[in-house]
Chain A
Amino acid sequence: MKILVCISHVPDTTSKINFTEDNTKFDSNGVQFVINPHDEFVLTRAMWFKEKQGASITVVNVGNISTEPTLRKALAIGADDAIRVNTEATDGFYVAKQLAEVIKNGGYDLIMAGKESMDYNGGMVPGMTASILDYNFVNACIGIEIEGNKATVTRDIDGGKEILSTELPLVIGGQKGLVEDKDLRIPNMRGIMMARKKPLKVVEPVDFDPTTVITDFEKPTPKSNCKIIDADKVEELVDLLHNEAKVI
């Protein structure tokens, strides 16, 4: 089984979010970039397929050269090789087009991506990639088993879960639940050394006009201070929630 794991290169959650050039560009100054948290769960699940079912894992990112350390980290965790599509990841549809091209050329059976990236939170890429290729697709995936050509997938739904059955080739948008936090792999020294020698192929993008463009950013208006209520006067909280906030 050939698995492709799509890796987003995103600011660490604790990063301060700022913008430059008259609020039109994200300010990456001093920002630590990491593997997108949802993608970490997906990558670890892919590693289990590799270890238990002999799958191969290619990781892919659509981005400029600055994303390579993130791909190397994925290689250090255990992926076999990496592909970087050498372009700016502008919008979801554009990224999906690039991934679809990589998938067509690579003939992957299972394409695993995080259900959304923690930067633009679009949640677009897995579904769009699957649709462009007319592959089967399950989003918000919290469990997956593959036997031969058959896939049994568990999906998180509002208020519960759903078991689905489908066939490869398959695209999933995954999240925590595929594996738990305690299972997440972190690169060890040996992995890091080996990752340096693993192939990282750079491919050029296919032409596709962007369907959306971000014109500018804005930050939320700063919050007013938290109103502190005396622990002995809980009735004041009830009153404020009813009369001021109007939420009860």
Chain B
Amino acid sequence: MSVLVFADNSGGKFKKNALEVTSYGKKVAEIAQSNLVVLTINASDVSELSNFGAEKIIKVNDDKLKNFNAKAYADVIKQVALKEGSDTIIIDSSTDGIYLAPIVAVNLDAGYASNTVSVPNSIAPFIVKRKVFSSKAFDHTEIKTTNKVIGLSKNSFGLVENKVNTVEEEFSPSLSDKDFNVVVTSVEKTTGKVTIADADIVVSGGRGLKGPENWGMIEELTEVLGAAIACSKPVADLGWRPHSEHVGQTGKPVASNLYIAIGISGAIQHLAGVNSSKVKVVINTDPEAPFFKAADYGIVGDAFEVVPKLIEKLKEFKGNQ
């Protein structure tokens, strides 16, 4: 038996997600007294995974898999799982990961626990802890099937360095035309910017900033922090910022290490989308704003005075590092 981790890469480079699922997979394999196998697709240099416990790496290189394709990727995972005798499959919670995992589960007749935040409490029965009700609660889910798929919630386990000797193996999957019934015709991707999905720090602006012309200081703050930029729903609805920056219940989810909300009161729908962030900071003129109840640190004050000062102090801090 083995634990199979799918470590996704972007242009050959492993993101934090991939290293996190590998770290997590190593721990699950230890608990289950099993072996860890890591699958990569079209990644040339996989050595980084050795630092996080990848004892065995299966490398698939196939031009047909150049673009992410959920069905084809799921098919590859199934073939590797069967070959390696994997009964536990671990997938990250990126947009691609959550697209892929349900297909893998059906392919392998596996129970699927998404949004998992812990290693299994026990192996027999196999029980994991999951986030539910928009992070307002957790449940313990028992997966009853022989095969199991775990979707690991972003930033819930972290990276655990664990240098091992790695065996690398090439594998050529057999793919059919049916795997490619959904075809990517074009991709629009912002380059050079930190995305909300990958960011360790997210800075978000709300209606308290009064208008789109005032976003310069928010942009400067994100630059100083190497953060991603985000906004509340009203700001996107008013057209001040693009919808792609909207975070909250119906927008993008945030699970960063640090979330800074500026001029956002903290409606429950907003908090539902961002409360998975580890540390939350709120800057708001209204001390009664609900966000103060959800935040770890708060400043009651005018963003137009506080943010420039914060930028200045952060620059000093960065300069001293």
Which residues of A are interface residues toward B (Cβ below 8 A)? 11, 13-14, 17, 19, 37-38, 41, 91-93, 96, 118-128, 130-132, 134, 136-140, 152-153, 155-167, 173, 175-177, 180-182, 209-220, 223-224, 226-231, 234-235, 237-238, 240-242, 245, 247-248
Which residues of B are interface residues toward A (Cβ below 8 A)? 70-71, 74, 94-96, 98-99, 101-103, 105-107, 109-115, 127, 131-145, 151, 178, 181-190, 193, 195-198, 200-201, 225, 233, 237, 243-244, 246, 249-251, 257-258, 268-269, 272, 278-279, 281-282, 292-302, 305-306, 309-310, 313-314, 316-317
Instruction: Verify B133–A164 contact, CB threshold 8 A.
Output: no
Majority secondary structure, B binding face: mixed
B142, B189, B272: which contacts A213 (Cβ < 8 A)?
B142
Chain B residue numbers with a CB within 8 Å of A231 are 299-302, 305-306
User: 27 A-B pairs, CB-CB below 8 angstroms?
Assistant: A122-B114, A124-B114, A128-B112, A131-B106, A132-B106, A137-B182, A152-B185, A157-B95, A157-B96, A159-B197, A161-B187, A165-B183, A173-B99, A176-B243, A176-B246, A177-B243, A211-B144, A212-B142, A218-B138, A218-B139, A226-B298, A231-B301, A231-B302, A237-B313, A247-B201, A248-B225, A248-B258
Top 3 A-B pairs, shortest CB-CB distance? A127-B102, A231-B301, A211-B111
Chain A residue numbers with a CB within 8 Å of B317 are 238, 242, 248
Closest B residue, CB atoms, query A156: B95
Instruction: Verify A13–B114 contact, CB threshold 8 A.
Output: no
A117 CB to closest chain B CB (Å) equals 10
B59 CB to closest chain A CB (Å) equals 23
Q: How far is the CA of A175 from the CA of B115 in the complex (A)?
A: 18
Chain B residue numbers with a CB within 8 Å of A224 are 296
B115, B184, B309: which contacts A121 (Cβ < 8 A)?
B115
A134, A211, A217: which contacts B110 (Cβ < 8 A)?
A211
Instruction: Verify B137–A181 contact, CB threshold 8 A.
Output: no
B98, B141, B249, B281: which contacts A13 (Cβ < 8 A)?
B249
A11, A123, A166, A212: which contacts B102 (Cβ < 8 A)?
A123
Instruction: Verify B181–A136 contact, CB threshold 8 A.
Output: yes
B89 CB to closest chain A CB (Å) equals 13
Question: Apart from A124-B114, A231-B306, what 13 extra A-B contacts exist at CB < 8 Å?
Answer: A38-B250, A92-B114, A121-B134, A128-B102, A131-B74, A140-B99, A176-B250, A180-B237, A211-B109, A211-B112, A212-B144, A238-B317, A248-B225
